[in-house]
Every structure is written in structure tokens, then in C-alpha cells.
Structure 1
Amino acid sequence: MAQFYVNQNQQSNGDHEVHQEGCKFMPFEKNLLDLGGFTDCSDALDEARNTYDQVNGCDTCCPDCHIT
């Protein structure tokens, strides 16, 4: 089970990006919302949608959940 976080600062396109712990593009800790532990990124994105309408997986650490 991996730990996931969502960036509370939205990207220029409005996305709030979901990251897996250890990602080299992890935002500053003060900008992270802890989503909890999940077996895959799709469950983490579902959890992030409870807070933000527009979420996307990080292309680097969550490629299976990244929508271009």
C-alpha cells in the first residue's frame, strides 16, 4: 500500500495533481493534503475528488492515472 497526496495548489489548467510518496516532483509539504494509503492511484484520485473537482495523477509517479 502506498501513501498518496494531492497538491493543494492547482496547476495552470486547474488540476490538483495527485502524487505518490517519494515522487521527485512532490510539492512542498505545506502544499500537500494527505489522502492516505491506497493500493492504486485511481482510489487516491477518487479520494482527492472529495475535496477538489478537478484532479489528475502526476505523469511521473501516477502515470496510470494521468490524463493528458
Structure 2
Amino acid sequence: MKYYVNKESDKRGDHEVHKEICFWLPDPNNRIALGECANAHEAVRKAKEYYSTADGCYHCCPEAHTH
């Protein structure tokens, strides 16, 4: 599955990680491609290379959502 991280933080300061099929996936100019990942936890680890506050999307990556 392909994953992306939102360039903009949410109201808590988190940069959410989304699956490519997520309804809440940001526009292409507002996301960074993380590539193919085995699961959401791997995608969040990759996203933390860009943003220390990366977190899984509540809707598409609940297993990696921490808030």
C-alpha cells in the first residue's frame, strides 16, 4: 500500500499519515509520498524522518493513530 504524510499539521500539531485510498488524503501539493509500506506503523516511522509529530490518520490508519 502507498502512504503519504500531510505537509500541514492538524490542530494538535500532528502531520497525519494516510493510505492512498483515504477520503481525507490531502491534495498532491500538500503531501509527501512515503512510498510502499507494509503497514501504517512503517509509514509513520518514515514520516517521522520529515516530521517528528507524524501520526496515523484516525480513519485509514487507526492502528498507528495515537491521539
TM-score for the superposition, normalised by structure 2: 0.96
Q: Deviations over 1:14-65 (max 9, x none)?
A: 1000000010111111101000101100000000011111011001110100
Secondary structure of 1:64's counterpart equals: helix
Q: CA RMSD in A?
A: 0.6
Q: What does 1:1-68 align with in structure 2 at a 5 Å threshold?
A: 2-68=1-67
User: Aligned partner of 2:4: which letter?
Assistant: Y
* CA–CA separation in structure 1 for the residues paired with 2:57 and 2:23: 10
SS in 2 for 1:42: helix
The AA in structure 2 aligned to 1:62 is C
Letter in 1 for 2:61: C
- Percentage identity across aligned positions? 36
**Separation in 1, partners of 2:8, 2:53:** 12
**Unpaired segments of 5 or more residues in structure 2?**
none
> How many residues are paired up?
67
